[in-house]
């Protein structure tokens, strides 16, 4: 548990800004901390970096030294937060030996206790929706885990995560839920990471 909080602290520090063009030709710089500033002529130009969709950039392949199990995972957790205080952390990986894929989410805010068979609601950019039921046990660590493939099924849900961009995700806790809107950059990265892991 101490490692998951350390990971959470490290991940919260990695953010980038987004530039949005307005109809009148001006630009707004959207900060990942929820603030924004208007770009003026005195400001240096802001260049938006494209999201890499190359699998070698998004995922890594490793062997667990103790069990010998081969694991393919995202190179880094992806955090979605509007204020750097609450949010959703997504970690995805696959056990190559058992072929099962795992989406592990960790939520911060709205109570840290998550019941067994809790829900994760997903709204995609195309307007379609999905509801995932977690496979993990009751915990008060903010962890909601979903297993795909093999005996767990959910192939249709996995296909959606691999082919469509997430617009909004809501993870239910015992008292309420944590909900975050995904930027196009983050949703693109998540979609391609899922696809790379699935197709490995």
Query: Could you tell me the sign of the dihedral formed by the alpha carbons of 188, 193, 198, 200, in that order?
Result: positive
Residue 33: the pLDDT is 58
Which 3 state secondary structure label does DSSP give 57? helix
Answering whether pTM is above 0.75, one says: no
Residue 133: the pLDDT is 96
Q: In whole angstroms, what is the distance from residue 112 CA to residue 131 CA?
A: 20
Q: In what order do the strands lie in the sheet with 177-181?
A: 129-133, 119-124, 166-172, 177-181
* Three-class secondary structure assignment of 142-191: CEEEEEECHHHCCHHHHHHHHHCCEEEEEEECCCCEEEEECCHHHHHHHH
pLDDT, block means (10 residues), the chain with 200 residues: 40 49 58 58 50 88 90 92 90 88 91 92 98 95 93 94 97 94 96 94
Residue 47 CB-density burial (10 A; 0-12 exposed, 13-18 middle, 19+ buried): exposed
Beta bridge partners of 124: 166
Residue 17: the pLDDT is 59
Residue 120: the pLDDT is 97
Residue 4: the pLDDT is 41
Give the contacts of 25 (CB within 8 A, at least 6 positions apart). Answer: none
- Map out the domains of the chain as residue ranges: 50-198
Residue 111: the pLDDT is 82
Residue 169: the pLDDT is 97
Q: CA separation (Å) from 33 to 59, 78, 79?
A: 26, 15, 12
């Amino acid at each position: 548990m101490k490692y998951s909080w350390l990971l959470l602290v490290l991940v919260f520090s990695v953010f980038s800004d987004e530039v949005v063009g307005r109809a009148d030709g001006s630009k707004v710089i959207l900060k990942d901390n929820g603030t924004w500033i208007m770009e003026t002529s005195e400001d240096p130009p802001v260049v938006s970096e494209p999201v890499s969709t190359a699998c070698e950039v998004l995922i890594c392949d490793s062997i667990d030294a103790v069990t010998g199990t081969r694991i393919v995972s995202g190179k880094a957790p992806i955090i979605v937060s509007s204020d750097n205080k609450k949010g959703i952390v997504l970690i995805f990986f696959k056990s190559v030996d058992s072929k099962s894929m795992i989406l592990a989410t960790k939520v911060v805010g709205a109570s840290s206790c998550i019941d067994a068979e809790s829900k994760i609601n997903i709204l995609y950019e195309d307007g379609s929706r999905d509801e995932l039921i977690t496979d993990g046990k009751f915990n008060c660590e903010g962890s909601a885990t979903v297993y795909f493939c093999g005996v767990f099924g959910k192939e249709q849900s996995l296909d959606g995560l691999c082919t469509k961009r997430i617009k909004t995700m809501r993870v239910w806790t015992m008292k309420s839920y944590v909900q975050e809107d995904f930027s196009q950059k983050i949703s693109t990265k998540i979609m391609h990471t899922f696809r790379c892991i699935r197709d490995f």
